[in-house]
Chain A
Amino acid sequence: MNRIPLIELKKGEKAIIVSHHGGRGFENRMSSLGLRPHAVIKKISSQLFHGPVTIQVGNSQVALGHGMARRIYVEKISDE
């Protein structure tokens, strides 16, 4: 098990969301845009100076603040 916060994912890397660290409300909010546990995501970009992170989830792209991205843990998918 190699869990890392979403912010440590590099551009273009894929991962599976493992858990949220921020309580039930946070998890619900993330889930409503598809960022729920087991979802497969791909990092598109992150802005400089701890700016927002953009990820691909399903067929849509979602941008979230750096602080939120730090509280989402993912597991890298190495193959492909």
Chain B
Amino acid sequence: MNKILLIGNPNVGKSVIFSRLTGVNVIASNYPGTTVGFTKGILRHAGKRIEVIDVPGTYTLDPTSRAEEVAVQMLDDIKDDEQAAVVNVIDATNLERNLHLTLQLLQRNIPMVIVLNFWDECKHTGVSINVEKLQQELDVPIFTTCGITGEGIKNFVDSLEQAKVSTLHFKEENIWNEIGHIIDKTQQLSHRHHTLWERIGDASIHPIAGLPIAIIILAISFTVIRFIGESIIRFIMEPLFDKLWTPVLMKLSALLGGSGFFHDILIGKLVNGSIAYVESLGLLSTGLFVPLGMVLPYIISFYFVLSFVEDSGYLPRLGILIDKFMHKLGIHGLAIIPMLLGVGCNVPGALATRVLETRRERFIAATLMAIAIPCMAQIAMIFGLVGSYGVGSIFIVFGTLFIVWIVLGLILNTFMKGESPEIFVEIPPYRFPYIPGLFKKVWMRVLWFIKEAVPFVIVGVLVVNILYFSGVIQFIGKLAAPIVKGVFGLPEGAVGALIIGFLRKDVAVGMLIPLGLSKSQMIVSSVVLTMYFPCIATFAVLLKELGIKDMLKSAGIMMLSTIIVGGILNLIL
């Protein structure tokens, strides 16, 4: 055997088991549909290399969503591969429902083993399963595991070679009878009392009590994000840059003679004889300070809070609460997940639109996110820079974007053909987040930011310098003047920020500072920078997800609404 597919219902812990098997870290969350693409890794066992594929969760082999289509496709791909086997991961506390997929899989005549995950949770949920009997009924090897602690995983890996094709046969229309029959023989449920988590769970989806609970949770999350972010900046990043890095740069500056081409590229222009980290625009000053000193602290704090909320299981419940409202925008409640992920970075947000079933919904969700949801990098810069014009300006920026999000959703929903389907989703149990797992997830996401964003920021700063030196920005500035000056009321120099915004929006916000904008110009340019076009990384993902035709449509909508909204803001402010 050299290839195994991990298949199971959504949210049964496949991704955690995958990490355990391969050492490859993948993001796991407490809601269905975390794995929207597939991930490959290598399991080394007894001197052999086995390819392990983490398949997106699916309830059935009759696919109803994009993630499920991917799963079925992958299963078809290994049909004739004799060296491949399926590992069906089952949530042991939900045996009956999980068996539906299991029986469908058994019918495919592929060697298979079953893993009963969350085995440790069976006890307090009052479920008792006779594993031996279940093994007889299904006629494939079964192992019990607890993905989080790793219990049982080794045992299962040692026995992978026992995977076999089941001899169980039944008529497809009798599948539920067959399941009922198996359940009767192998599972016993005992009565138990409601746990505290379940009571909280019920309250948080109560039609009336749920709303204040949602507001409190969001307010706490926001406060914690700001508190952690600002603390890291004030107590760690600023002292580091001011006390340690500035003296080094000043020496280098003197060495390079205080000005000239190389000096300007590396260190940038000195402001009043010293380094201004946002304005200098050198690779080693602004190029490092923007991503590390201003954005990274908020990335850390945002992902810490988001990961906590995700792992608790709250997000699908929030989706249910706001479902009715979201339908007015042409998407259902679960679209809140791509939106919130988009607040961290639009790239994972765009990928997460796959949890939505139809093309129409995915188009609306992706467009709304790309246009009205600034990423954390940009938010951090807006906080840091627009904030100096007063809290009111920050409020106007985000208030405007929120209104755009709603109005554009209403418009798209009215004019796009087709209906958006209703919500239909399993609600995961509340769990207290597993803290080591949580830290690992935050670390992975932060690492991803550092690897992806920092090089881009540095390239961005380099490009700015080259474009200025070569006069390209000044040239395009003249061309775009009618819109930038006439419609938005911004100076020509703002064109530079718009060009760089395509590479990195955080750097672009920083580039507004030397322009000496008025308060209303700062607000207009922050809104315009968010809306006009996605950054290059998001653009690439959207192009792949939507296809070229829809992406062009989406981009057209973005530019048109930017001109309208930017123009209106310029008139009324």
Interface residues of A (CB under 8 A from B): 28-29, 31-34, 36-38, 44-52, 54, 57-68
Nearest chain A CB to B152 CB, angstrom units: 20
Indicate which residue in A31, A61, A67 contacts B100 across the interface (CB closer than 8 Å): A31
| Chain B residues closer than 8 Å to A52, beta-carbon distance | 320, 323-324, 333, 422-423
In the complex, are the beta carbons of B207 and A63 less than 8 A apart? no
B207 touches A45 (CB 8 A): yes
Known contacts A48-B208, A48-B324, A65-B332; can you find 19 more A-B pairs with CB under 8 A?
Answer: A28-B60, A32-B100, A34-B100, A45-B206, A45-B207, A46-B207, A47-B207, A47-B321, A50-B324, A52-B320, A58-B96, A59-B93, A59-B125, A61-B426, A61-B427, A63-B316, A63-B323, A68-B422, A68-B424
Find out whether the CB atom of A51 lies under 8 angstroms from the CB atom of B205.
no
B64 partner residues in chain A, CB cutoff 8 A: 29, 32
Q: Which residues of B (80-105) have their CB < 8 Å from a CB of A?
A: 93-94, 96-97, 100-101
Check A65–B60 contact: CB distance below 8 A. no
Contact B94 A60 (CB under 8 A): yes
**Contact B427–A28 (Cβ < 8 Å):** no
Cβ B202 vs Cβ A63 within 8 A: no
**B261 on the A face (CB < 8 A):** no
Within 419-444 of B, Cβ neighbours of A (below 8 Å) are at: 421-427, 429
Q: Are A64 and B324 in contact, CB atoms less than 8 angstroms apart?
A: no
For chain B, residues 179 to 201, give those with C-beta under 8 angstroms from any C-beta of chain A: 180, 201
- Does B213 count as interface, using CB distance less than 8 angstroms? no
Is the beta-carbon distance between A65 and B423 smaller than 8 angstroms?
Answer: yes
Which chain A positions have C-beta within 8 A of B320?
47, 51-52, 54, 63
Residues of A contacting B: mostly:
mixed
| Distance in Å: Cβ of A5 to nearest Cβ of chain B | 15
B76 at the A/B interface (Cβ < 8 Å)?
no
Asked, given contacts A45-B202, A45-B205, A54-B205, whether A32 binds B323 with beta carbons under 8 Å apart, the answer is: no
Whole-angstrom CA separation of A38 from B180 in the bound complex? 10
Chain A, residue nearest B104 (CB) = A32
Known: A45-B206, A63-B316. A32 touches B60 (CB 8 A): yes
Contact with A along B279-304 (1 / 0, CB 8 A): 00000000000000000000000000
> In the complex, what residues of B have CB within 8 A of residue A51's CB?
207, 320, 323-324
B422–A67 contact, CB under 8 A? yes
Measured between beta carbons, the chain A residues less than 8 angstroms from B60 are: 28-29, 32
